[in-house]
Amino acid sequence: MNIYVIEDDNQQRKQIIHYLNECKHIFFDLKISTLSNHLTFMEEIPKLTINDNDVFFLDIDLMTTYTGIDLALEIRKYNAKCSIIFLTSLEDQAISVLNNNIFPLGYLIKNFKNPSETKQIIIEMIKKSQLTSKNFWRFKQDKVEFSSGSETLFFNARDICYIQSLKGFNGRVLVKTLTEETIIEAKIGKIKKQLQQEYMMTSLQSYIINLENIISIDRKNEQILFDGQQLLSIGAKSIDKVKKALRVYSDD
């Protein structure tokens, strides 16, 4: 996830980057681009490889020949799915943006008097960005079927957050999806053999993790947040393994 911050006020840009750096322990793949010159960024856009999960913080009122809206329109020529967040001092600038069909993720009002509030807004925006990107990814179904006793159950593998073997219930696993949970009469080892998708992490003993559905990781509280606001409490050692798997998967 590449983050671009284009803001003509250097102090405000530094503040936003400071808040973003404080989020790095939550978003493992957050990378802040060194491209920041608002005077030349328009010329840089055609040279960029813009990914669907990239995020652009664009000041609307740039002190140059073009505005943040002009930059957003240029970005949209190369990627319709990346997230654009406008930086503005005025809350009534949204109409011109909507009329240009830019469809920004949101607006960050440049009032940094409450750092904790601003940081939380940025965290929520990045989570929303990841969620939006993953919703596009799920348009393509990836159906799998699991046998549970005499039943056959069907799932979209992309909707699965994690699968967990149930302690004290030999031969039963919990399948947690974006919207529901299902207990299956099966051993997790058998389920692992059925799930060959590259986004499914099957190396943990008692869990199968859908790497694509992870929104954030909180190592301090030993929790993984998935899309759909699904939380998994897991040990710190396992979290480290998940983070390593995420890095390898992202690099591929």
Written as six digits, the tokens of 67 are 């505005």
Q: What is the pLDDT of residue 97?
A: 58
Can you tell me the distance from the alpha carbon of 233 to that of 12, in angstroms, rounded to the nearest whole number?
37
Contact at 8 Å (CB) between 217 and 28? yes
**pLDDT for position 98:** 54
- Residue 156, strand partner residues: 143
| CA 252 – CA 29 distance, rounded (Å) | 13
Distance between CA atoms of residues 33 and 56, nearest Å: 10
**pLDDT value at residue 22:** 83
Torsion of CA 115, 117, 122, 126, to 10 degrees: 140
* pLDDT for position 39: 92
pLDDT on residue 229: 81
pLDDT reported for residue 188: 92
pLDDT for residue 94: 54
CB–CB of 89/61 below 8 Å?
A: yes
Query: Alpha-carbon distance 32 to 36, whole Å?
Result: 10
Cβ–Cβ < 8 Å for 228, 178? yes
Write down the pLDDT at residue 171: 86
Report mean pLDDT in 10-residue bins for the chain, 252 residues.
Answer: 92 90 78 91 95 91 89 93 86 56 82 81 86 72 85 90 89 91 91 92 95 88 87 92 89 68
Query: What structural domains and CATH numbers belong to the chain?
Result: 2-137 (3.40.50.2300), 143-251 (2.40.50.1020)
In this prediction the pTM is 0.65
